[in-house]
Structure 1
Amino acid sequence: MATNNFKSGNEIVIPENPLSMYLFNSTRSAWIWLIIRLYVGYVWLSSGIGKVGNDAWIGENAGAAIQGFVGGAIEKSAAGPDVSGWYATFLEQIVLPNATVFSYLVVFGEIAVGLGLILGLLTGIAAFFGSIMNVAFLFAGTLSANPLLFILATWLVLAWKVAGWYGLDRWALPKLGTPWNTSKF
């Protein structure tokens, strides 16, 4: 029986299928990722900028919004399975006492992720941190746009090589290299 697999030493290498090769390795698919990247980046950036002028996020009452959000998540945990007990404990023991710090992290994290995605700079890294924030919000029992943003961010992470082609990654990635390509480091 003939196969398209080939052996490289003791390793069997399975060739990439044409669709994933196109989506995740070919710059011809960059226009798809540009649309997704701009949408997700816009959502993050507008969310972060919207919080900048809000005193409950940044300013004299910084942390008040986080306290309210965490309080609601802890109530959901007590009321039912929307928030896991271990996550409610994390929120109560770590986030709540440091609400001001987390408030600034959320605001500037949202802005940084949004800018990274819109500019196409370190797209995979920006999408990864966006997905981490989405997961944190989902664990706290907040749906809204988080499931969709998480899925799109995960795809952007997978497409990191071409997702920023129509952006600054086109020039930054060849100059920066990758950690597994030690000739740049």
Structure 2
Amino acid sequence: MQKEVLIPENPVSRFLFSSTRAGLIWLVVRLYLGYSWITAGWKKVNSEAWTGDKAGTALEGFVKGALAKAADGKDVTGWYANFLEHFVLPNAKVFAYMVAFGEVLVGLGLIFGLLTGIAAFFGAIMNVSFLFAGTLSTNPLLFILATWLVLAWKNAGWYGLDRWALPFLGTPWARGSGQKQNSFTAK
């Protein structure tokens, strides 16, 4: 049986992902991402083609464009084209609502700094979905920034509601262990 060896964290990652002083950096990233998501989602929520009488028609057009790219052998892999064709397309109306309101919720979570890591995770999932569908735009940049926010979940919301929400909610690994339920350390 091997003895457990703890490898110390380097100072840069400790600062970026554990120090509350880095919260200002993450605030800028959060606000940029949040604004990007909320403006995109708000347009969709107020669009007939996404959530109105013609809900799902915009998403159907997007999916059909991705399927055309897959048929040409460009930009969209076969397994993702199958997923789009057999799961998303028949349920386009449901997915249109999920995308539109999901973008707004991700934007709100990031702007207010509430459950920042979770909001960033779902934003990254949407970015990857758009990338798999062959759409570049700002998705690679947004995905990278969202991934960093997921890594910085402990301190990314320090200048936001997470400052109070995370200590209140606690973490699964600290519950019942007698440890103080505080996700943030003052550094």
* TM-score of the pair, normalised by structure 2: 0.92
In the alignment, what sits opposite 1:116? 109
Q: 2:46 aligns with which of 49, 53, 68?
A: 53
Partner residue, 1:130: 123
The answer for unaligned runs of 5 or more in structure 2 is 182-187
By how many angstroms is 1:53 displaced?
A: 1.6
Q: Secondary structure at the match of 1:11?
A: coil
How much has 1:10 moved relative to structure 2? 1.8
User: Following the alignment from structure 1 to structure 2, what is the Cα–Cα distance between the partners of residues 74 and 181?
Assistant: 46
- 1:102 is paired with a residue of what secondary structure? helix
Residue 125 of structure 1: CA displacement? 0.3
Gaps of 5+ in 1: 1-8
Aligned to 1:31: 24
Q: Which residue of 1 aligns with 2:58?
A: 65
> Percent of counterpart pairs with the same letter?
69
Tell me how far apart the structure 2 counterparts of residues 65 and 88 of structure 1 sit (CA, whole Å): 17
SS at the partner of 2:5?
strand
Q: Does 1:79 align with 2:81?
A: no
How do 1:133-144 and structure 2 match up within 5 A? 133-144=126-137
CA distance in 2, matches of 1:51, 1:83: 24
Question: After TM superposition, which residue ranges in structure 1, 4 or more long, deviate above 4 angstroms?
Answer: none
Which residue number corresponds to residue 96 of structure 1?
89
Which of residues 135, 138, 143 in structure 2 aligns to 1:145? 138
Match for 2:9 among 16, 25, 32?
16
- Bigger Cα displacement from structure 2, 99-108 vs 52-61: 52-61
Alpha-carbon distance in 2 for matches of 1:46, 1:80? 32
Equivalent in 169, 172, 186 of residue 176 of structure 1: 169
Give the distance between the partners of 2:101 and 2:74, measured in 1 at CA.
30
What residue is the counterpart of 2:37 in the other structure?
A: 44
Aligned residue pairs total: 176
How far off its partner does 1:81 sit?
3.1
Report Cα offsets for 1:57-101 as digits up to 9, x if no partner.
Answer: 011100001100000000000112300001000000000000000
Find the residue that maps to 2:51 and give its secondary structure: coil
Amino acid at match of 2:92: A
What secondary structure does 1:163 align onto? coil
**For residues 46 and 9 of structure 2, what CA distance do their matches in structure 1 show?**
48
**Aligned-pair RMSD on alpha carbons?**
1.0
Amino acid at match of 1:144: S
